[in-house]
Amino acid sequence: MNVHAVILAAGQGTRMKSALPKVLHPVGGKPMLGHVLEAARAAGVADIHLVLGHGAEQVRDWLKSSGHVEVNTVVQEQQLGTAHAVQQAIPHVPDGALVLVLYGDVPLIAAETLKQLVAAAKDGMALLTAELANPFGYGRILRDGQRRITGVVEEKDADDRQRAITEVNTGFVAAQARRMKRWLSKVKNDNAKGEYYLTDVAGLAAKDGVEVRGVTAANPDETEGVNDRLQLAQAERRFQRLKAERLMRDGLHLADPARFDLRGSLDFGRDVFVDVGCVFEGIVELGDNVHIGPYTLLRNVKLGSGTRVESHSVLDEADVGRDCRIGPYARLRPGAQLADQVHIGNFVEIKKSTVGEGSKANHLAYVGDATVGERVNIGAGVITCNYDGANKHATIIGDDVFIGTDSQLVAPVVVGRGAYIAAGSTITRDAPEDALTICRAREQRSFPGWKKPVKKK
């Protein structure tokens, strides 16, 4: 079946109080509109028509930058209601196609639900409904004595009997485009808000003798729209809970699924443990028996089997081998590549460097633009001075090197294999292999009776 989706995304979103168009606000690290586009594609939609209004250029820029160049965009110059919005896009939909109406600010809609809605609309019309204990604010589904849908009444236009109905309209609708075009042309705005409601097409379809089927959402949460920051946060938690439950069913051990955030994709092996407060962004790959300590951020990271990351560490664009120990309070910046059995301890920062097997920097060190060999010991307070104010320079450290505490390696410099750098040294020239290199002030002097400076009054 040829299915075209019309996604409504023209609302100003004034309650968000933001310069960013509402549909571009993120849930799970991705704009809400991105989730809706993915769901539509997964449901088998062939073509997508996006109705824009406020912030149209920003949305178009995002579509281009994120690779959604195939989406057709139209602009609703005046926001006169949902039926009016669909009318802006419906001329681009062939008469023989099925049109599916979606919303750019309903990010949790499931592809499977959309498939059910499309299937139910093959020879008629289908509405997505939900059963709510508190239906306040929603349009109510009207049925006759045979439980056939006869229409939808909005909250402001409903009487007391109709307001008692708990089956509500979610706004999602599917029907043949040819019929939808005819019904849209008949929609009037004689209601409390003076708008052209898309919901009126259900009553028009029923009057034409077309069966209107209701598809009840299995989880009402997936039909919730986002209009303000509170609802955005609620959608975020629902999204994260769904992700956490799916991952746990696949074997991931989460200490607390309520304190877990995934803003990308996570691939993991067996017996992986993730403690509380961890955030995963981009593409993250974890091998078998990986342990992630609390309040850790992993962004576009690959960790080998048996690696352990302690609490409050930040790993960004890093590739880590097997059986490594990282943290607590460690930072791996983009370009960090760690071989197997590397130890990176507290307050150690690695940037655009490779660290060989068995090497360690256990505390208070900075290694940038460096190549570190195997079995190297980097002491506390060691830094590679890689930036001269204009350019970055490389430091090369051979295998089995010992860098003493509080030493500075001023790049470009090479420390030969087996070299020993004495504590407190500032190395500005290459250090030879298998030799002790020391570079300190030649004389230590003391001054008895020295008076410390006093602040001027």
φ and ψ of 223, to 5 deg: -100, 5
Of 329, 321, 275, nearest to 302 (Cα)? 321
Distances (CA, A) of 147 to 17, 69, 132, 213: 42, 43, 18, 10
Q: Which DSSP string do the residues of 94-134 spell out, in sequence order?
A: -TTSEEEEEETT-TT--HHHHHHHHHHTTTSEEEEEEE-SS
User: How far from chain centre, in Å, is Cα 319?
Assistant: 20
Helix (H) / strand (E) element for 184: namely helix 177-186
Q: In whole angstroms, what is the distance from residue 407 CA to residue 256 CA?
A: 42
The phi, psi pair for 213, rounded to 5°, reads: -95, 145
* Known catalytic membership, residue 363: yes
**Tokens 């746990």 map to which residue?**
248
Cα 234 from chain centre: 15
Closest CA to 431 of 397, 386, 400: 397
Alpha-carbon torsion (193, 90, 35, 167), positive or negative? positive
Summarize the chain as % helix, strand, coil (round to 5): 20, 35, 45
**Active-site residue, from 49, 68, 343, 363:** 363
Look up residue 172 and give its DSSP letter: E
Q: What's the DSSP call for residue 220?
A: G
CB atoms within 10 A of CB 133: 6
* CA separation for the pair 384, 56 (Å, rounded): 48
Say how many residues make up the chain: 457
**Catalytic amino acids?**
363
